[in-house]
Structure 1
Amino acid sequence: MDYLPLFAELKNRPVLVIGGGEIASRKIDLLLRAQAVVHIAARELSHEVNELVEAQQALWIASEYHPDQIDKVFFVIAATDDAELNEQVYQDAQRKFKLVNVVDDQARCSFIFPSIVDRSPVIVAISSAGTAPVLARSLREKIETLLPARLGDAAQLAGCWRDRVKQRFQRMVDRRRFWERLFSGEFMHQATAGNLQQAEAILAQSLQHPVAQRGEIYLVGGGPGDPGLLTLRGLQVMQLADVVLYDHLVSDEVLDLVRRDAERICVGKRAGAHSVPQNETNQLLVSLAQQGKKVVRLKGGDPFIFGRGGEELEAAVAANIPFQVVPGITAAAGATAYAGIPLTHRDYAQSAVFITGHCRSDGREPDWAALALSDQTLAIYMGTVKAGEISRRLIEHGRAAETPVAIIARGTRQDQCVLTGRLDQLADLATHAPSPALVVIGEVVHLHKQLAWFQKSSAMMTPSSALTPII
C-alpha cells in the first residue's frame, strides 16, 4: 500500500493554497466543501477565485509566497505553473513537516486528492496512488450509480440514534447485528426514499422490540479462483458473516473479500486429503449456527457440484437451522472458459459430462462405455491422481487414443497453467500439472490454440514438450 487512506477533519482549520488560477479554484472549492479556512497566496486571482474572496469565503493573504506562510496551516497545496516555485513550496513543506500537494506532480506530493463519491456523511474515496487518475474517476462514476442519492440521510439518522443503540445493546456484536438488520431492511428503503419519519419509526420500533438473533448457514460458491467471478450475492453474504468455514480450493484473493473481523476456520479440503472429516465439518456448521452466528460455508467453485454442499445442508435441516445457498461458477465452466475451450461446440461436442476422478466409497465403477462416446466433452474434477487409469479405461471402451486432452491447473488465476496433448499421453501430462487441476477430454480442446484469451495459448504438446507448462 503506497498511501494510507485517511479522512481529515478540516472544519475551521487553515490551509494554504499557492496559486489563484483554474486548478487552484477546483482545489479551493473542495476545501470549502470540507469547511476549511482557505488562505491564498497568488499574484493574480481568476474570476472564480476572486468571487470567493469578495464573498469572504477565502482569504487572499499575499500576492507572493513566503515560507513563513506555511507555519500555521494544516497543509499546503501548490497549484501554479511555475515549476521553480512549486519545488520551493515542496521543499519548505518537507523541511517543516507539513503535508504538501503539488498539483499534477506526484513526486512532490506527501498526500494526494482521491476521486470522491459524496453522500455526506458517507464518503467514498478512490485513489490509484497517482498512477491512473482517469481510472479512479471511472471507478467513481460506477460507484455513483450504485449508491442511493439519499444514502447520507440514512447514515445521519442512524448517527442520531447511535448512543441509544449503545445503551440498549452492551455488546459490540449485538450492536453490529442490530445495525446490519436495520440497514438491510425496510428502514433503509424508507430512508433512501426520503421518508425519514417512517424510517425513524421503524428504527424506534426495532430498538424497542429487537428480534432475537437467529443463527443461519449460508452455503456460498466462491468460484474457481478469480475474485472477479464471485457473485454479487456471494460478496454481500461474506461481508455479513460472523464466521467463515472455507476450503483450500478457495483462492486467497476471494478469501481476502471476507469481512475483516469475521472468524475464519479452514476445514481444509484438498484432492486426496481432508484435514477435517466431513461429519466434523457438518457438526461445526450446526454448532456455530446454534450460537446465533451467521455462518458462511465458503467453497471453491459451486457448492452443489462435487462440493458436498448437499450433505452439509442435510445436517442443517436435521438441526432445524435456516440456510441459504449462493451458487458459484464451477471449475468446469470457469477454467475452460479462461482456457478458451468451449464445453460444447456444434462441430465437436453436442454434450458435456461432469464427473469426478474419485471412485465411490462402495467401489462402483463409472459407466466407461457411456463416457467413451465421441462427440461429447468430459470435464473431470480431481482427475490427475488417476489420470493413467482414466486414459486406459476410456481407450479400452472405444475412445480414440489421439483424442485431444487438456489439463487446466489453477484455472482463472494469474498462474493458470494449461497442458495439452492426446488421451494416450494424459498420465504423463498429469505428472507435470500443479493443483488444483481440471482434466478436459474431447475434440473441443482443439479450439484452445485459437480461442485462449486469458493467457498465452499452448500448442498441442507431445510428452517431451509437456515438461514445460505453457502459462
Structure 2
Amino acid sequence: MGYFPFFVELEGKEGLIVGGGRIAAHKIEKIKPFGAKLTVVAPYLAEDIKTDPILDCKERPFLDADVDGKCFVIAATDDEKLNAHISALCQGKNILVNVVDDQEKCGFIFPSLVKEGKFCAGISTEGASPMTAAYFRSRLAAALPEKTEEILDGLLAFREPVKQEIPDGRVRAAVLKEAALFCLDKGRPLTKEEMQERLRAAAGKQEKKKTGSVALVGAGCGAYDAITVKGLNTLRRAEVLIYDDLIDERLLSNVSESCEQIYVGKRSGRHSFRQEEINDLLVQKAREGKRVVRLKGGDPFVFGRGSEEMIALRKAKIPVTEISGTTSAIVAPAGAGIPVTHRGLARSFHVITGHIAGTEDGLPEDIENLAALHGTLVFLMGIGNLAAIADKLIAAGKSGGTPAAVVRQNTDGSTQAVRGNLHNIVQKAKEAGTETPAVIVIGETAGLQLFDEQ
C-alpha cells in the first residue's frame, strides 16, 4: 500500500455517508469542520444526525444513484455486503470511498486528526496500529500553543504586507519564518507594533547586506533526545546545518526542508574535513547571510574543538554563540551505572584526551601526575591507545588492580560496558570487540555498577 497524505479542499464539495449509527456520526463530526456538503442515507438515522441542520438526511435504504456527483463516499453500515457493494460501485466510477473497518475496500483512510483553526495534521499507521496513531496525535495536540488558532490567523494577516513591502524572496522567507518562531516561542500572535517593527527591520536588511551568525550546539551524548531544549530550538531555526559524525541522525529531521545540510564528520583514522576547512566553511556560510548551526556530539567545548571554531569566527567578525551539551565524559559512565564521583571513593574527576597529536606515543605528557591522582580518570578518544594508557599508568605507580571500564554509549540510548582492572582491561575490551567511540574510566568508581547498563 502507498498512502500519501494529500490535503484535499473539501469546502463546498459533495460527500455521502451511508449509515446512520454511532460510527457514521463519528465520521460526520470529523468531516464537518472542513465545510463539505454532506448527505446521509440510512433506513434509520440517529436523532443527533437527523437534527443536525447542516446535513442533508435521507431516512431510507441506499440507492446506487446516491453516489452520483459525489466527491467522496463513506460506507459506515453494519452490513458487510452493502459496504462491499458501495466500495465496488464507487471504485468503478472513480469516486474516493472509505469502508469502515475494511481497509482492503478503501480508496482512502481516515487519519488520526489534530485540528486547531488552520493547523491540521493527520497521522496514520496504514491500519497497523490505530493506538499508535492516537498516541502521537495526543502528544502533538499537547505540544500546540493554547492560542494556535490566533497565532495562525495573525501570521496569515502578516503575509500580505510582507509580500508587498519586501521584494527580496530570501529576506521575505526569513522574516516570515522568524515571525512564526517568535509566536510559537511566546505562545501568542504578533501585535501590530511588532509586525511594523519587523517590516522596518527587514527593509533595512535589504538595503544593507546582512551578516549571518553561527551557533555551536552540543547534541549531547547518546540518543537524539539528549539535546537540550535550547539546542533543539536553535537547530529548528537553522538555514545551514554543519554536523558531525557522533550524533543521532534523527536530530536531522528537526531542521526545515530548505535547510542546507553539510556533513563534516571525523573519526579516528578517517578524516573527511580538516579543522581549518570547517572553520572556513562556517565563515563562508555566515557571510552569505545564513543562520548557521554547527552541531557537534557531546559538548562543543569538551575536546570538541568548539573553541577553535569560535576563535576563527570572532576573528572574522561573525556573531557566534555556544549552547552546551551533555558530555560523554559523564553520560557514558553514568549509563553503565558508574558515577565519576562518589563519597569516600572519588572526590574529583579528570577528563583527559586519550590521543595527543605531536607527542611520540600520542599520550599525555603528564601521565605520571595522572597516576598519582586519587580521583576518577576519564579518557576520551583513547580506545586506540588503551594498552599504552594502562601500561604507562602502571609503570607510573598506579596499581594494576585499579578498577577500569571501557564504555560505549550508542545513539539508540543503550550502553555497552567492559569491566576489569588496569591489568586485564585491554584483553577484556579486545575479547568484547569494543569499537570507537568509547570512554575509558579508571579509578575506584569504575568498580561500581549502580544499575544495569541502559
TM-score of the two chains, using structure 1 as the length reference: 0.83
CA separation in 2, counterparts of 1:337 and 1:91?
A: 60
Compared CA separation, residues 355 and 99, structure 1 to 2 (3 A)? farther
Pairing 1:227-306 to 2, within 5 Å after superposition: 227-306=224-303
Whether the 8 Å contact between 1:401 and 1:424 is mirrored in structure 2 is: yes
In the superposition, relative to structure 1, how do residues 63 and 452 fare at CA in structure 2: closer, same or farther (>3 Å)?
Answer: farther
Structure 1 residue 327: deviation in Å?
1.2
Match of 2:146 in 1: 149
Q: Number of aligned pairs? A: 448
Matched, 1:318 2:291: no
CA distance in 2, matches of 1:203, 1:308: 36
**Where does residue 469 of structure 1 map in the other structure?**
none
Contact 2:166–2:202 (8 Å) recurs in 1: no
Identify the residue that residue 114 of structure 1 maps to in structure 2.
Answer: 111
Indicate if the aligned counterparts of 1:408 and 1:419 stay in contact, CA closer than 8 A.
Answer: yes
- Contact between 2:335 and 2:409, CA under 8 Å: does it hold in 1? no
Gaps of 5+ in 1: 455-471
CA contact under 8 A between 2:213 and 2:320: conserved in structure 1? Answer: yes
Does the 8 Å contact 1:225/1:254 carry over to 2?
no
Report Cα offsets for 1:406-443 as digits up to 9, x if no partner: 33335243675433333323333444222322223344
CA contact (8 A) 1:223 1:330 kept: yes
The verdict on how the C-alpha distance between 1:207 and 1:258 changes in structure 2, with shifts beyond 3 A counting, is closer
Does structure 1 residue 436 correspond to structure 2 residue 433? no
User: By how many angstroms is 1:2 displaced?
Assistant: 6.1
2:50 maps to 50
Alignment RMSD: 3.1
Q: CA 1:203–1:26 in 2, change beyond 3 Å: closer, same or farther? A: farther
SS of residue paired to 1:340: coil
What one-letter code is carried by the residue in structure 1 that aligns with 2:234? V
Q: What's the counterpart of residue 371 of structure 2?
A: 372
Task: Select between 210-219 and 134-143 the one with higher mean Cα deviation.
Answer: 134-143
SS at match of 1:435: coil
Equivalent position SS for 1:424 = coil
In structure 2, the partner of 1:14 is 14
d(CA) in 1 for partners of 2:185, 2:386? 54
Distance apart, 1:405 and its partner CA: 3.1
Q: Distance in 2 between matches of 1:3 and 1:282?
A: 44
Range moving further from structure 2, 302-311 or 68-77: 68-77
**Is the 1:344–1:376 Cα contact (8 Å) retained in structure 2?**
yes
CA shift in 2, pair 1:400/1:39, >3 Å: farther
- 3-state secondary structure, aligned to 1:358: coil
CA distance in 2, matches of 1:189, 1:300: 25
User: Are the aligned partners of 2:353 and 2:364 in contact in 1 as well (CA < 8 Å)?
Assistant: no
Cα pair distance change 1:387/1:73, threshold 3 Å: same
Paired with 1:122 and 1:304, the residues of 2 have a C-alpha distance of: 40
Which amino acid letter does the alignment assign opposite residue 44 of structure 1? Y
Structure 1 residues 328-367: aligned runs within 5 Å: 328-346=325-343, 348-361=345-358, 365-367=364-366
- In 2 relative to 1, CA 442–189 (structure 1 residues): closer, same or farther, beyond 3 Å? closer
Report the CA distance between 1:248 and its aligned residue: 1.8
Q: Distance in 2 between matches of 1:405 and 1:246?
A: 32
Partner amino acid, structure 2, of 1:313 = M
Letter aligned with residue 318 of structure 2: I
Alignment check: 8 A CA contact 2:355 2:382 kept = yes
Deviation at 1:96, TM superposition (A): 4.4
8 Å Cα contact 2:175-2:198 kept in structure 1: no
Q: 2:24: which partner in 1?
A: 24
CA contact (8 A) 1:405 1:442 kept: yes
> Residues 207 and 244 of structure 1: is their aligned pair in 2 closer, same or farther, counting only changes over 3 Å?
closer
Q: Quickly say closer, same or farther: Cα 1:72–1:279, change in 2 above 3 A.
A: same
8 A contact 1:19–1:40 mirrored in 2: yes
Structure 2, unaligned runs of 5 or more? none
Cα separation, 1, equivalents of 2:352 and 2:439: 10
**Aligned partners of 1:84, 1:447: CA distance in 2, in Å?**
66
Letter aligned with residue 371 of structure 2: A
Deviation at 1:13, TM superposition (A): 0.8
TM-score by length of 2: 0.86
Mapped to 2, the partners of 1:371 and 1:286 lie a distance apart of 38
Question: Which deviates the most, 231-240 or 385-394?
Answer: 231-240
Contact 1:374–1:399 under 8 Å retained in 2: no
User: Contact 2:240 / 2:260 at 8 angstroms: preserved in 1?
Assistant: yes
Measured in 2, the distance between the counterparts of 1:79 and 1:199 equals 49
The alignment partner of 2:39 has SS state of strand
From 97, 100, 124, give the equivalent of 2:121. 124
- How many Å separate the matches in 2 of 1:352 and 1:112? 57
Preserved CA contact (<8 Å) 2:235 2:255: yes
Aligned partner of residue 260 in structure 1, secondary structure: coil
- Residue pair 1:338, 1:412 contacting (<8 A) in 2 also: no
CA positional deviation for 1:77? 2.2
- 1:183 — aligned with what? 180
What secondary structure does 1:179 align onto? helix
**Any idea what SS the aligned residue of 2:423 has?**
helix
In 1, Cα distance between equivalents of 2:156 and 2:55: 31
For structure 1, which segment, 17-26 or 422-431, has the greater mean C-alpha deviation from structure 2 after superposition?
422-431
Mapped to 1, the partners of 2:83 and 2:336 lie a distance apart of: 51
Secondary structure of residue in 1 paired with 2:156: helix
Q: CA offset at residue 149 of structure 1?
A: 2.9
CA deviation string 1:124-145 (max 9, x = no partner) = 3334444443444344344334
Decide whether aligned partners of structure 1 residues 100 and 440 sit closer, same or farther in structure 2, where only a CA change above 3 A counts. Answer: farther
The code of the aligned residue for 1:144 comes to A
Instruction: Please state if 1:407 is matched with 2:406.
Output: yes
Q: Is the 8 A contact 2:159 2:176 kept in 1?
A: no
Letter in 2 for 1:276: F
On the 8 A contact 1:225/1:253 being kept in 2, the answer is no
**Structure 1 vs Structure 2: percent identity of aligned residues?**
35
- Given the alignment of the two structures, is residue 393 of structure 1 paired with residue 392 of structure 2, yes or no? yes
Q: Aligned pair 1:76/2:73, yes or no?
A: yes
- The question of whether the paired residues in 2 share the 8 Å contact of 1:237 and 1:296 is answered with yes
Equivalent position of 1:36 in the other structure:
36
Q: CA 1:66/1:359 → structure 2, altered by over 3 Å: closer, same or farther?
A: same
Greater mean alpha carbon deviation, residues 82-91 or residues 387-396: 82-91
SS in 1 for 2:172: helix
CA distance in 2 between partners of 1:424 and 1:138 (Å): 50
Distance change in 2, residues 1:254/1:403 (3 Å): farther
